[in-house]
Amino acid sequence: MRRWSVPKYCWALLLLAALLFFSVNALKAGETFPKPTGAVNDFAGVIPAQYKGQMENLARELLA
């Protein structure tokens, strides 16, 4: 029975592709984020103002 082998250049191409993929992701991870402004920071804008206020009040009580 004949065994299939992968040529060495295919492994090199696979390694190069993986390195490129991970290096691009590492560069993306270096993105800067806004500075925190309080105990609750909703950078995505998904927390309703009412709940944000409640969480801010709770955080002030806990940190006092």
d(CA 10, CA 17): 10
Segments forming the whole domain that contains residue 14: 8-31+40-63
Q: By the 8 A CB rule, do 56 and 46 touch?
A: no
Q: How confident is the model at residue 33 (pLDDT cuts 50, 70, 90)?
A: confident
d(CA 29, CA 19): 15
Looking at the domain assignment, is residue 3 inside a domain?
A: no
Looking at the domain assignment, is residue 2 inside a domain?
A: no
Looking at the domain assignment, is residue 15 inside a domain?
A: yes
Looking at the domain assignment, is residue 49 inside a domain?
A: yes
**Per-residue model confidence (pLDDT) at position 58:** 96
d(CA 34, CA 57): 22
Q: If you average pLDDT over residues 26-41, what whole number do you get?
A: 80
Number of domains in the chain: 1
Looking at the domain assignment, is residue 27 inside a domain?
A: yes
pLDDT at 49 over 90: yes
